[in-house]
Amino acid sequence: MGFTILAEVARNADADVLVAQNVAFGIIAAIMIFSAIRVVTTSNVVHAAAFLVMVLAGAAAQFILLGAEFVAVTQVMVYIGAIVVLFLFGIMLTRAPMQGTEKFTRDNWKVGALTSVVMLAVLVFTLVDGFGEDKLPADLMPTDTRVLSDAIFSTYLVPFEVISVLLLSALIGAIVIARKD
Amino acid sequence: MLATIFAAAEGFVRPDIDWHALAPELVVLATFVVVLLVDVFTEEHSRWTASSFAGIGLLGAIVPLLTLAVRDGDPASLFGGGFVVDDFSLVLKALFLVAGYVTVLVSSNQIAEGDYHEGEYYLLLLASIFGMMTISSARDLITIFVAFEMLSIPTYMLAAWRKRAQTGIEAGMKYYLIGVFATGVMLYGMSLIYGGTGSTLLSEIGAHIGGDFGQEPVAVVGILFTLVGFLFKVSAVPFHNWAPDTYEGAPTPVTAFLSVASKSAGFVAILQLVFLGFFGRADVVRPFMFVLAVATMTVGNMIALRQTNIVRMFAYSSVAQAGFILVPLSVIGAGSADTADQILSSMVMYLLVYTVVNLGAFAVIISVSRRTGSGEIASWGGLFTYAPALAVSMAVFLFALGGIPPAVGWFAKFQLFTAVVKADTTLGYAAGVAMAVNSVISLGYYLGVMRTMFMDDVPDGDTTPVRVPPALVAAVGITVVATLVVGFLPGLVGDLADHATFALSLGE
């Protein structure tokens, strides 16, 4: 339902809507950056997982703003619905320490910080230089899920089939590595 | 039933599938399913049948490769050009199948006696080979990425197969963590390329990179990031840190597989990307590859000289060999169009030769370590006195790796060297000199093992002959014969490699 409204809004897109989109983008991006920083700075594993949910939900929201409804739904179902929940169950069932009691080594933080700053500078420069002038098309329409499924079963048939073999072999290998014997 | 559903679906165009072109992959996939079922429905004591089925399946997949090779007409291009079966892909698929078969031969005793999970072991090996075959035909970023994961993820788990040993787990974890990190960087690079070109097809990316988009900084960052993911796989310095620990901790047959097949698959992806996608910015790739190639050769050789464990020595030697293979990329696009073809065929040639020779060397290492039970080079002392056949075979492989005639290695190295020097650029000559110096350095450790085998005394005076199981005899035999035959008649592989250029005309 929400998607059809969004589609309607997008069809009548004018300057105001695009401004609203930009504002929404900014707010969501700020929340994502804050949460991402908290993921790595918090010492409580469960809190880190919760902040990770925020980051992933933010990414899903950004996809909706871009009209990619299928990707957004997949993001929520796979990452939030499956992976993070599995992660939380893993923490609870294995009785891993919730509070970070062990000392983390931070010996290499200077090299790490330098690398991050350099990477950030390079990426910001190249991205702004390369895509800074680009604008969303005024007639932005949500991508039809049917188009995606048609592409998966025609153009991208080989990768689709390969991924199913990949999942099967990953499953088998993981069981062998994890089981007690 | 299905036909009516398809008819009802508006706008869906059923892809035209050339089953013959897909046959080699399908045979491997069928073998995968058969091994899975055999593993499920057989008793523990007859699990060894898995290795037989895997070996037969891999050999069987060569049949459709041969029929495809003699098929007339243009190379098959399926799924809108994302999957192409040309001579380049056929030659490399044959390489992966042969490497896989020899790996099965060297594995069969080791894995059965070590009480590892046999059925699952061959299953993952087949899965990885399936990924390698797919990546040889992949001409589209998504297909390349998925095939790359298909060949990598099973090997992460195979590296951790000795899970009861601390070193086994360390091997798997290191390989996995560095692997996923490199994959992340690579995907980011691919997303930048896609953002700029709007296509995942290498042919269209090539057109855009050669055009306006190629001149933007974002294209350069995209190209370098994408290549980093594959450079990790070929263990180029500075992405080589995982190699020694992983090679030492993994079961030795897996190490053999990683050092040849997995490395070749990384090179296949690099060749496809560089020649078909990024050729328009060869001026960026050249200095990048020059620095990496020289660093990889030098660092690999310097550390290999100091190793006392034979598997670690071969790990660093394979790092150095990766450097040799990267050298020709430091002159790509600098000469005329036929130099590009020559560079490509010299690299394919070296990959073919290196695969056979290194697998052979590992087959000997596995045979000898069955008796000595240790990886120390010192324990190889006097091998010639009690196992002359193994010692002579190893000598052949060491000669080949070092590039001494008449073993095949010299010709392959000579081809690389010619390709580099022929480009007639400063960078090319510098790379040629670095390569020559490093070839001499590498003789230091290859001949060191020779001296131990032929000159030194047997460490504990025990000179009972080594009992080598038939599968290992076959593996050593196949590789020795191939090394010598191709060494005397290098034209055989040369012709094969000359055909293995892309169907597209390059370097216009």
pLDDT score at B507? 36
Q: Answer whether residue B398 is part of any domain.
A: yes
Stretch A91-96: mean pLDDT: 74
Confidence (pLDDT) at A17: 65
Give whole-number Cα distances, B93 to B201, B325, B353, in Å.
21, 19, 15
Give the confidence band of B445 by pLDDT, cuts at 50, 70, 90.
confident
For residue B502, the model assigns a pLDDT of 60
Are A129 and B13 an interchain contact pair (Cβ–Cβ within 8 Å)? no
Is the predicted pLDDT of residue B282 greater than 50, yes or no? Answer: yes
**What rounded mean pLDDT belongs to chain A?**
81
- More confident site: B195 or B6: B195
- Is B244 part of a structural domain of the chain? no
Question: Phi/psi of residue A43, each to 5°?
Answer: -95, -5
Question: Does the structure show a pLDDT above 70 at B287?
Answer: yes
Planar angle of CA B453, B456, B459, nearest 5 degrees? 95
Shortest distance, CA A89 to any CA of chain B (angstroms): 22
Position B446 in a domain: yes
Query: Under an 8 A CB cutoff, do A172 and B196 touch?
Result: no
Mind listing the pLDDT tens digit for each residue in A115-152? 889 999 998 888 888 887 777 776 667 777 788 888 88
- Cβ distance A157 to B15 less than 8 Å, yes or no, reads yes
Q: Please tell me the total count of domains within chain B.
A: 1
What average pLDDT does range B207-232 have in this prediction?
86
More confident residue, A69 or A95: A69
pLDDT, residue B350, reads 86
Cβ of A120 under 8 Å from any chain B Cβ?
no
Contact A177 B157 (CB under 8 A): yes
pLDDT recorded at residue A1 = 39
Q: Residues A55-78: what's their mean pLDDT?
A: 88
- B462 is a domain residue: yes
Which of A123, A157, A165 is nearest residue B29 as measured by Cβ atoms? A165
Task: Tell me the pLDDT band of B5, cut-offs 50, 70 and 90.
Answer: low
Mean pLDDT of A93-109: 66
For residue B505, the model assigns a pLDDT of 42
Does the structure show a pLDDT above 80 at B217? yes
Q: Is B185 within a domain?
A: no
Domain that holds residue B298: 281-508
Which residues from A are below 8 Å from B32, CB to CB?
165, 169
A137 touches chain B (CB under 8 A): no
Bridge partners (DSSP) of residue B261 are none
Q: Residue B47: is its pLDDT beyond 90?
A: no
pLDDT in tens, B67-84: 888 877 777 788 888 888
Q: Is residue B118 part of a domain?
A: no
Q: Mean pLDDT of all residues in chain B?
A: 83
Higher pLDDT, B241 or B227: B227
What are the tens digits of pLDDT across the range A13-43? 555 666 777 888 899 999 999 999 998 888 7
Whether B51 has a pLDDT exceeding 90, the answer reads no
Mean pLDDT over B196-216 rounds to: 84
Chain A: give the shortest CA distance to residue B365, in Å.
26
Give the model's pLDDT for residue B506. 43
Q: Which CATH architecture has domain A2-99+108-138?
A: Up-down Bundle (1.20)
User: What residues of B are in contact with residue A131 (Cβ under 8 Å)?
Assistant: 195-196, 218
Cβ–Cβ of B79/A129 closer than 8 Å? no
Closest CA to A166 of B78, B94, B124: B124
> Could you tell me which chain B residue has the CA closest to the CA of A179?
B163
Residues of B in contact with A123 (CB under 8 A): 221
Distance CA B130, CA B134 (A): 6
Distance from the B155 Cα atom to the nearest Cα atom in chain A, whole angstroms: 10
pLDDT > 90 in chain B, percent: 12
| DSSP of B65-99 | HHHHHH--SSPEEEGGGTEEE-HHHHHHHHHHHHH
The string of pLDDT tens digits covering residues B466-498 is: 778 888 888 888 888 888 887 776 666 666 666
What is the arithmetic mean of pLDDT over B276-302? Answer: 86
DSSP output for A94-145: TT--SB--SPPP-TTHHHHHHHHHHHHHHHHHHHHHHHTT----TT--PPPH
Q: Which residues contact B366 (CB under 8 A, 6 or more apart)?
A: B106, B110, B252, B253, B256, B472
What's the rounded mean pLDDT across residues B382-398?
A: 85
Please answer yes or no on whether B217 and A123 come within 8 Å at the CB atom: no
Q: Which residues of B touch A169 (CB under 8 A)?
A: 32, 123-124, 127, 153-154
Asked if pLDDT for residue B500 goes beyond 70, the answer is: no
pLDDT-derived band at B133, boundaries 50, 70, 90: very high
Residues in chain B within 8 Å Cβ distance of A130: 192, 195-196, 216-219
Q: Is residue B412 part of a domain?
A: yes
Any idea what the Cα angle at residue B117 is, between residues B113 and B118, rounded to 5°?
70
- Write down the ipTM of this complex: 0.86
Mutation target for B interface from A131, A172, A179, A181: give the one with most B CBs within 10 A. A172
Q: Answer yes or no: is B249 within a domain.
A: no
Helices (H) and strands (E) in chain B, counts: 22, 2
Torsion of Cα atoms, B257 then B260 then B262 then B263, to 10°: 150
Question: Which residue would you say has higher pLDDT here, B112 or A145?
Answer: A145
